[in-house]
Amino acid sequence: MSTLDRSVVEHAAHLARIALTEEEIERFTGQLSVVLGAVDRLKDVDTSDVSPTASVLPLDNVLRDDEIRPGLELEQAFRNVPPGGRDGDLFRTQSTLESR
Amino acid sequence: MTAGALPRTIREAGELLRRRETSSVELTRTALGRAHADRHNAWLRLCDERALAQARAADERLKAGDAPPLCGIPWACKDIVGTRDVETTAASRILAGYVPPYSATVVERLDLPGAVMLGKTNLDEFAMGSSNENSAFGPVKNPHDPTRVPGGSSGGSAVAVAAGEAIFALGTDTGGSIRQPAALCGVVGMKPTYGRVSRYGVVAFASSLDQVGPLSNSVEDAALVCEALFGVDPNDATTMPLPAEDLRHDLDKGVRGLKLGVPKEFFIEGMEPGVERAVRQALRELERQGAELVDVSLSMTDHGLAVYYLIQPAEASANLARYDGVRYGLRVEGPDLLQTYRRTRGQGFGAEVKRRMILGTYALSSGYYDAYYVKAQKVRTLIKAEFDRVFQTVDALVTPTSPTVAFPIGAKVNDPLSMYLNDIFTLPVNIAGLPGISVPCGTSDGLPVGLQVIAGSYQERTMFRVAAAYERAAAAMPRSAAA
């Protein structure tokens, strides 16, 4: 069974874009090891001929007519923007590319 | 109606309203008064003006005659359900101050018949929890014993109904979040079949499992609210296009001639003896009412927890990726965008949410996706198939809702796995997408016990029929016997 070491927690936290404190990394490593231990028992279930279920709904493609419908007004869409997050009619965020 | 008290049910309130013995404004003032005086931390905010405006409009409709049953009835809304112009936080710091520009479909469907929304109730952050201790705005206390939890995640909604601060409430149920707090607070709580109720405008948690449903003081009320909520919504492609149903049709039919399955895996070691006693007695009562009890086996039940704690955090980690501090919600600025994301989410999410994000991200990550996520989805297929098989031989299943009664606040906060075990009897129902209801079933050591009735997909009528039969039988029992 997989016990979790802290590097796994650090890696998953990085992928999830969550900054953790040292104390959180330690605590979550212990707690999630216990949870994963319980989850690991699934390995004992034979699923060789079983297809996965993503949804229990007996629906496939749900289509609608391609009609124009009203959406949010601009001011409604900007209503909850964090301070400094609006620039005219655009959301402002930080650069994702380094300037050289 | 006692001065200062609310009628317990929609039926009682409706009769008073139609006899002009009270008005919606009076009911709403009473409810708001009680809610403002609430000492259980059940509410995150109350909307006095909005509620009274709705109540005045309802009184006009009642005066004109021919108002629908929900007209003028004050209700409580779990704060994960979006409400236009009313702050909606999901009990998270990351959404503090967020004011939705539109209402969830379920809110509109209660606005339409003239129900009166009193305010927003407390919950576990993003509905992740079974004790309501994970709220960023403090834990909720159980009205039967304020040193104990009310269950979760719809703890505030359960308490509002149990404490007579609202006549009914909405909750959401991903693994038991309506039924378990209903059981622990001694009220009725119902999760519809997956696909029955629109989630449009509800903060998404685990999209293949989430459903919205009612908490109330009677089975009839739960059915009545479901009639308003059910139905296809063009804004939610996961709603089933089914015709409207009279869900109260079979409430008085009784259980004579019904086959009720009793799955042996739901009576496990570690279950509190008082809970087992109460549930066994309820089973005998249903038998006395003419039901045939059938021992059945759901051997996959044991794997439900593992399946749930892979699929649910995986879906949640994807859904909660949207909280990045750019368009709405908390933003904690860092030197670059990556650091802004990390800080925003590190400071905005509470411990349980972070744990599940990490677990879910891990289960979906390269090298583990097949071993964890896909494996869980395959076992999900087996769990669903087993339920389908059992429902070929029985009309409904009857089980305990939770293995324990309300536990002391703080008892399980540092032990996630033992906290997760609270939902061991409710989460298989979400995995299979079935309807389930918890009805009060006596007490153990003075604390409420819940009886769960599970039916096949879209068989809510049968589920309500069994639940109503038990409710009537329990009401007729002498108090000592019900306890």
On whether the CB atoms of residues B24 and B64 are closer than 8 A, the answer is no
Cis bond upstream, residue B208 (ω within 30): no
Q: Is the model's pLDDT at A71 over the cut of 50?
A: yes
Residue-range domain boundaries for chain B: 10-229
| pLDDT given for residue A96 in this prediction | 81
| Interface ipTM | 0.94
B50-60 residue pLDDT tens: 999 999 999 99
Which CATH architecture best describes the domain B10-229?
Alpha-Beta Complex (3.90)
Residues of A in contact with B305 (CB under 8 A): 38
| pLDDT given for residue A62 in this prediction | 87
Report the distance separating Cα B448 and Cα A87, nearest Å: 55
- Single out the catalytic residue among B23, B103, B153, B402: B153
- The nearest CA of chain A is from the CA of B89 a distance in Å of 12
| pLDDT given for residue B479 in this prediction | 57
Strand locations in B108-222 (E): 116-121, 168-173, 188-191, 211-216
For the entire predicted model, the pTM comes to 0.97
- In three-state secondary structure terms, B351 is helix
Say whether B326 and A38 touch across the interface (CB within 8 A).
Answer: no
User: What six digits make up the tokens of B44?
Assistant: 């995150």
Query: In the predicted model, what is the mean pLDDT of residues B350-359?
Result: 97
Say whether A54 and B377 touch across the interface (CB within 8 A).
Answer: yes
Least confident of A65-74, B258-267, B447-456: A65-74
Query: In the predicted model, what is the mean pLDDT of residues B407-435?
Result: 95
Residue-range domain boundaries for chain A: 6-43
| pLDDT given for residue B1 in this prediction | 46
B191 catalytic? Reply is: no
Residue linked to tokens 């959301």: A91
Q: Is the model's pLDDT at B3 over the cut of 60?
A: no
Q: What is A6-43's CATH number?
A: 1.10.20
On whether the CB atoms of residues B463 and B454 are closer than 8 A, the answer is yes
Q: Is the model's pLDDT at B416 over the cut of 80?
A: yes
Question: Please, which pLDDT band fits residue A99 given cuts at 50, 70 and 90?
Answer: low
User: What six digits make up the tokens of B213?
Assistant: 């449903």
B138-162 residue pLDDT tens: 999 999 999 999 999 999 999 999 9
B337 vs A8, A81, A94: nearest CB: A94
B361 vs A16, A55, A72: nearest CB: A16
Inform me whether the C-beta atom of residue B319 falls under 8 Å from chain A C-beta atoms. no
Q: Is the model's pLDDT at B62 over the cut of 70?
A: yes
Query: In the predicted model, what is the mean pLDDT of residues A32-42?
Result: 93
Inform me whether the C-beta atom of residue B367 falls under 8 Å from chain A C-beta atoms. no
B386-412 residue pLDDT tens: 999 999 999 999 999 999 999 999 999
Q: How far apart are the first and last CA of chain B?
A: 26
